[in-house]
Chains A and B, each alone.
Chain A
Amino acid sequence: VTSPRGAFISLFVNFLVELTALATTCRFRAAIMMASSYNAKDEDGHITVSGPGGGTLRSKKPENTAFKQQRLPAWQPILTAGTVLPAFFIIGLLFIPIGIGLFVTSNNIKEFEVDYTGIDMSSPCFNCSQNFSWNSTRPCTCTIPFYLDQPYESNVYVYYGLSNFYQNHRRYVKSRDDSQLNGDVNSLMSPSKECEPYAFHENKPIAPCGAIANSMFNDTLELFYNDPNGTRIPIPLNTTGIAWWTDKHVKFGNPGGNPNLTAAFQGTTKPLNWRRPVYELDADPGNNGFINEDFIVWMRTAALPTFRKLYRIINKKSSMVPTLPRGNYTLEVVYNYPVRSFEGRKRVILSTISWMGGKNPFLGIAYITVGSVCFFLGVVLLIVHHKCGNRNNSADISN
């Protein structure tokens, strides 16, 4: 029984009225019980009771409303073969094409991944990974050559990926001070307790405080295209446009209105693991301090211990030339970030993207699988329904 949609609103209003009436009813009931004297009994059996307030009450006959009598018009759907079976088939038929589409899209995305942790002796970064110290002044650089067997036509996104890095550990996640990062001057000088033990260093507040900031990824990656004739052409990497707009413009902000960041951060000290203070992250004043995009990207902690973060964007130059043509490339890494102690891994990923993001065949496969299962289930249910359903449904209810 479906009721006209317009009635819903009026019914709901009715319901609210009833609810408020409920409170009054309770009070009236108390009044009736309290009443010690009965005034009169009407001839038609309706009893008039004068309560302490002097008000007159009707008989106790409950009101005849759909709500109170539990007769509210209602839609009572049930699972019938007529609804369930078509639903399964439709879902099946709908999901398989969606899945195929997703799968194809994902497959068309070009992705190249190189692990430069330097675990193996043969790896170019092996040396750098072996003798690491936070305070070494001489940066260790390693060069990784690789070959792209197909051209990357649209914008290419460069990610760094870390594995076994618990950015989602509770103590890690909470070890930050959002007020400080938002540019609050008080918090700048007295960071929140959550940042401990990275709140103060030598009695100076750390800016930015906390374990997340302290452990910021600080490898430098550079990409070169090895021209067939042997020259190394550096590929321009865009450092901006990699963080969420809201993060850059709302969530993060430099302290005070002072355009001179050095002055703004006066009295604070850099995080322990950092080589440079926060106001020297970039030369561009729009990308320096707390609103440095590399920093912002790092501060958006990952959900899982294996993650990738956007590092740079290689913009498409023109429609004629692929952004990254087929050929040999060299990745130059300034190896600063130690992960070997906790068996972590570092990767660099070059990827194009589509409307559904990066390369992840899972959704496509899942949709195809679920669609097929649905279809199959539909068939099974149809058989079940034909074999048993009719027999049982037509059977009368034994009295």
Chain B
Amino acid sequence: MSLKRVLVGVKRVVDYAVRVRVAGDGSGVELANVKMSMNPFCEIACEEAIRLKEKGLCEEAVAVSIGPKQAQETLRSALAMGCDRAIHITTDARLDQGGLDPLAVAQLLQKIVEKEEPDLVLVGKQSIDGDHGTTAPMLAELLGWSQATFAASLNVDGGTAEVERETDAGTEVIKIQLPAVVSADLRLNAPRYPKLPNIMKAKKKPLEAIDAASLGVDLTPSIVVEGVAPPAARKAGVTVESVDDLVDKLKNEAAVL
């Protein structure tokens, strides 16, 4: 008994390997000309959806992303990995911080869920730019659905799913009713690299664009960014003249003795 449809949320973020810089005016991270990629946890979520398809447990995987024109590249990656079609919610608002709040994102995704009627929503546990980790639980709550966050393994069986969740004290296994929202953690799977023929095929798969403003969601941010600054630079060390000096400093200044 397979699921009809899995909805996969993917986000275009600064590539994990980039060393970001803060803009001169402290308004945010410098994003111009910086390499962008699919959020690593979103890649894992997407991979899981494809694996469900390959196991015959789901018929259709639909990728959805919110962002500017370039978010289409991220959606094409999802299509190249194996999703069947894609939905692009277009907006020019910032997505890392000071633009669309996680709540607005959850509300936009809610609208897509209402339209697409998936049995399962798979998203990454958090994005590596905002690092909120709140979109998945908020979406579940808005929908009134079960949720399983920080999924390290997922077993779908008809109308239920067994999820092993990462917690601070280890893992726990829970059983949830579908439809549900599941957020992917690192150990869930190792995402595949899209094969070249699939990259070519992705070009032909359907990609639908919907203006975020047309979905009836209030997009005004309620989180205001006061300022962004890089972490304090490491201070230079101090040369000590004697062992006594060192002991004194360790005891009285660093307070480690």
Chains A and B bind each other: no
